[in-house]
Amino acid sequence: MGAAVLPAGTLGAEGIERVVIGFEAWIAGFEPVAEQPHGYLNRGRAEIRYGPPHPGPRWASQIEALELEANRRHRARFAELSVEIRRQLIEGQLERDELDRLPGPAQARHVALGLMAFFYDSSEAADLCYQASIGRFRCRGLSALGREPQPLAAGELGREPQPLPGGPLGREPQRLSAGPLQREPQTPARGPRRRAWASDSGRRATASDPSEGS
């Protein structure tokens, strides 16, 4: 399944196997109905919230259905079919889903979507997308603050990314036009600061602070 839904041109066979192994390990360690972050970490909500049930049983039945369909249509195991035919069978199971974005891995209705979401939500996918060692989920330390991520070395995470077809996904990011987000921070004008203290009579008096530059 990995070769049919993951970017094989970028990851290569070894990269796909690495992602699939990581996905299987994530499923094995999944805690169903896990307690979610408490209210003070979750937009001020006070109630305790719980995560989704284990997606494994549903996904296992979908993989079994793909095997049965592969055998009945092509007299072969699913893994023995060409990537294109495997993709067609997966798309047949997804044709009723109306998706405008990938869900979170645990919320994915179909195992193929779960695998895709697992990869595209990873640090590796972000690094490959921008061709830089961003380390989205890695602690880089305070010394790295303000530094631009270093470009990926050739073959560091996978193969050289392949150009995307024309369209919104293949366009280069556009620079922001001049506006508030691109203006240089303005240094506030400095003037004599005023300080106040109580006089002997209890009234407040003010004076310029000579220690402050004008």
Position with higher pLDDT, 209 vs 40 = 40
Cα gap 88→90, rounded to integer Å: 5
Find out whether 33 and 53 touch, Cβ atoms under 8 Å: yes
SS3 per residue for the chain: CHHHHCCHHHHHHHHHHHHHHHHHHHHHCCCCCCECCCHHHCCCCCCCCECCCCCHHHHHHHHHHHHHHHHHHHCCCHHHCCHHHHHHHHHHHHCCCCCCCCCCHHHCCCHHHHHHHHHHCCHHHHHHHHCECCCCCCCCCHHHCCCCCCECCCCCCCCCCCCCCCCHHHCCCCCCCCCCCCCCCCCCCCCCCEEEEECCCCCEEEEECCCCCC
Cα gap 62→23, rounded to integer Å: 16
Q: What integer pLDDT is reported at residue 75 of this predicted model?
A: 96
Nearest Cα neighbor of 34 from 24, 49, 47, 56 is 49
Cα gap 129→126, rounded to integer Å: 5
Share of residues in the chain with pLDDT > 70 (%): 66
Q: What integer pLDDT is reported at residue 119 of this predicted model?
A: 95
Tens of pLDDT, residue by residue over 88-129, are 999 999 987 777 888 999 999 999 999 999 999 998 888 888
Q: What global pTM score does this model have?
A: 0.64
Cα gap 190→206, rounded to integer Å: 18
Tens of pLDDT, residue by residue over 53-98, are 999 999 999 999 999 999 999 999 999 999 999 999 999 999 877 7
Cα gap 78→162, rounded to integer Å: 27
Q: Round the average pLDDT of the chain to a whole number and report it.
A: 75
Q: Are strands 194-198 and 204-208 parallel, antiparallel or unpaired?
A: antiparallel
Asked whether the predicted pLDDT for residue 167 surpasses 80, the reply is no
Asked whether the predicted pLDDT for residue 5 surpasses 90, the reply is yes
